[in-house]
Amino acid sequence: MDERLAALISNANAIRAIAAAVEGTIGPKGLDTMLVDRFGEVTITNDGVTILEQMDVNHPAARMLINVARAQQDEIGDGTTTCTILAKALISEGVNHVIRGVPVVRVIEGMRYGIERALQIIKEHAIPVESLDDPILERIAYIAGRENKDIAELVVQAARLIGVEKLKDDNFRLADTVLAQEGADNEVFMGLVLDRQRLNSQMPEKKDAVKVLVLDDDLDPEEIEEEALGTETGFSKYLELQEEFRQNLSKLVDLGVGLVLTSRTVHNIGEEVLTDAGIFVVDRLASDSLRLAAEHTGARLVKRSALKKPASELETYLGFAGRVYEDEKLGQVRILGGQGKPMATILVGAATEEVVGERQRIARDAASSLQAAIKGGVVPGGGALEIAVARELTLSRQEKRGMSAYGVDAVVEALKRPLAQIVANAGFNPLEKVEEVWAAQMAEGNNQLGIDCDLGTVASMSELGVADPAEVKSYALKAAGEVAEAILRIDTIIKRKDPVSPPGAVQESSNSAALDF
C-alpha cells in the first residue's frame, strides 16, 4: 500500500466500522442493537446517536463521526443514522477515487459542489405543512417514532396544544417536553412535571392559585466560620443571622407565597417555618427543571440574597401557577396554569424500568421530526428523495470539468445509500432495488417513487404515507459532507506527545477496554 494513503485508508476503515454498527437499524425493517457495559448493564435500542455515543471507541476519525452525529441530534433531534450512512459513503467513494489517482483536492472540490447543489434540490422539493391538522404530521411522528402509534398521537396532540408559532421558535424544542416514566399512563397536558417530590409529607399535597418563588440557591441562613462560633461576638453574630433568616421567611409567608422551588437544600428552620405556613416546597431541582419552572410560572430566578430585599421588591420576582400538586404514585410534582410561557408535557408510559429510556428516546425523535416538518416542510421518505436528488445531480455533473467531476460522482453514489440500506434491511437486493427506483422515477417523472418494504415493489411514498422532514435530510447531508471533507484532508497521523505534568502530579489512567479500528 502507498504510504501516502495509509492515513486515509486507516481513517476510512474506522468510519466503515462505526457506520456498520448503526446501518442495520434504518428503515421499517431495521433491527435493534444491544449495548453492554463492563458491569453487565444492557441498553437495547435502534437509535443511532445512542448507539454511537455508548460505543467504546478510540480511533480519532471514528470519534469525529460520532461528534457529527451528536451535532445532528443536538441541532435537529433526528436523522443521525442517515447522517452516518451518508458520511461513510462519501468517505468510501472519495477514497476509491483517490486510490485511482484523483487528487484529494479535486475530489473535495467536486463533493462541495455536489452537496451544495443537492441541498438546493432538497429545498426545492420540500412541501410546506400549512396546518397542524395536516395528517402528514401524524405520519411523520409515526415513522420517526418507530411505528409506535400511541407515541405519534401524543406528539401530535402536544403540537396542537402548543401552536405553530411556538413550534417555529428556534429557542423551543418540543423534544424537551417529553418525559417517560414506569407505570405512568400516556398523557399530554399544559404544564410542567418536576421529577421530585415535596420536601416532606406534612406539606400540602396540592395548592391552587399560588405565588411561586424560584431560588437558584440553597434556602439556608448565612454561614459563619466555625472558629468564630467559639467567641462571644461570633456566637452573637450567628444568632443574629438565624433571626434574619426567620424574618426573611416570614416575608415569604406574608407575601402569600404558596410554592418554593430551590436548586439546593432547605435548612431545618426553613423547612419548619414553611411547613407550618402550608407552603409547598420542592428542593434539589436540576438546573433545567428550575429554568423551565421559572419560564412557565413567570418567576425570576434569584439567589438567596434576594430574600433580603424589601417585600415590595421581592414580590416582583414571584411567578404564579394555577395549581401545583404531587402525584404520589409516580413520585413527581406537576405545575399547571403558569402565567409565563405556555408549556406542554408529553408523559409517555413504560411497562418496565428497562424500556423507560428507549420509550423516551423514541418519543423525542418523533417530537423532533414533527417540529422539523413544521419549520422546513416535508419530502418523500424511504430513500426516494435521495434518489431523486441523485438523478438531478447527475445532470449537473457536466458543469464540473476535469477531475472534480469525480467528487460529484461520490455525492451521487452516497445519495443511493439510504435506500440501498433500507431495502437491504428489509431482505431485498439493494443494487436491484436502487436501479428499479431510479428507472421508475425517470420513466414516470415521479420523484415520490420508492420501495414498499413489505412487498419489495416500486410504490409511491406519498400513497404509503412515508415522508420525512426536509430539515432532517438537509442537515444530515451537510453534516456528512463536513466530516467527509475533514477526513479526506488528513494526510498524516502523528502521535502527539503527552503534555508535561507539574512535579508530583498524578497521571490519570484508563482501565476501559476501548475498541481500536
Spatial separation of the C-alpha atoms in residues 152 and 300, rounded to whole Å: 34
Task: Give the β-pairing of 467-469 and 378-380.
Answer: antiparallel
Q: Inform me whether the pLDDT recorded for 231 exceeds 80.
A: no
Spatial separation of the C-alpha atoms in residues 56 and 141, rounded to whole Å: 31
What pLDDT is recorded for position 449? 96
Residues 318, 387: one domain?
no
Whats the size of the chain, residue-wise?
517
Residues 227, 336: one domain?
yes
The predicted model gives 4-21 an average pLDDT of: 83
Instruction: Map residue 328 onto helix, strand or coil.
Output: coil
Residues 49, 10: one domain?
yes
Pick from 342, 361, 376: which residue ends a domain?
376
In a 13 Å sphere around the CA of 209, the CA atoms on its Cβ side amount to: 1
Q: Inform me whether the pLDDT recorded for 23 exceeds 90.
A: no
Model pLDDT for residues 401-458, shown as the tens digit of each residue:
789 899 999 999 999 999 999 999 999 999 999 999 999 999 999 999 999 999 999 9
Residues 428, 312: one domain?
no
What is the number of other CB atoms lying within 10 angstroms of the CB of residue 268? 9
DSSP letters spanning 252-306? HHHTTEEEEEESS-B-HHHHHHHHHTT-EEE-S--HHHHHHHHHHHTPPPB-GGG
Model pLDDT for residues 102-136, shown as the tens digit of each residue:
999 999 999 999 999 999 999 999 999 989 999 99
DSSP 144: H
Spatial separation of the C-alpha atoms in residues 455 and 270, rounded to whole Å: 67
In a 13 Å sphere around the CA of 464, the CA atoms on its Cβ side amount to: 22
CATH for 359: 3.30.260
Closest C-alpha among 264, 297, 293, 259 to residue 278: 259
What pLDDT is recorded for position 44? 77
Query: What are 350's strand-pairing partners?
Result: 182
Tell me the residue range of the domain where 329 lies: 190-350
Longest pairwise C-alpha distance within the chain: 96
CATH for 327: 3.50.7.10
Evaluate whether residue 493 is within a structural domain.
no
Model pLDDT for residues 328-342, shown as the tens digit of each residue:
888 889 999 999 887
Pick from 376, 411, 442: which residue ends a domain?
376
Evaluate whether residue 508 is within a structural domain.
no
Q: Give residues with Cβ within 8 angstroms of 165, minimum separation 6.
A: none
Closest C-alpha among 484, 490, 489, 462 to residue 415: 484
Residues 418, 360: one domain?
no
C-alpha torsion sign, points 266, 272, 277, 281:
positive
Residues 212, 346: one domain?
yes
As a three-state string, the secondary structure of 392-438 is: HHHHHHHHCCHHHHHHHHHHHHHHHHHHHHHHHHCCCCHHHHHHHHH
Closest C-alpha among 107, 47, 130, 7 to residue 410: 107
- If one counts the domains in the chain, the total is 3
CATH for 471: 1.10.560.10
Evaluate whether residue 228 is within a structural domain.
yes
Model pLDDT for residues 352-383, shown as the tens digit of each residue:
777 888 899 899 999 999 999 999 999 999 99
Evaluate whether residue 516 is within a structural domain.
no
Residues 63, 194: one domain?
no
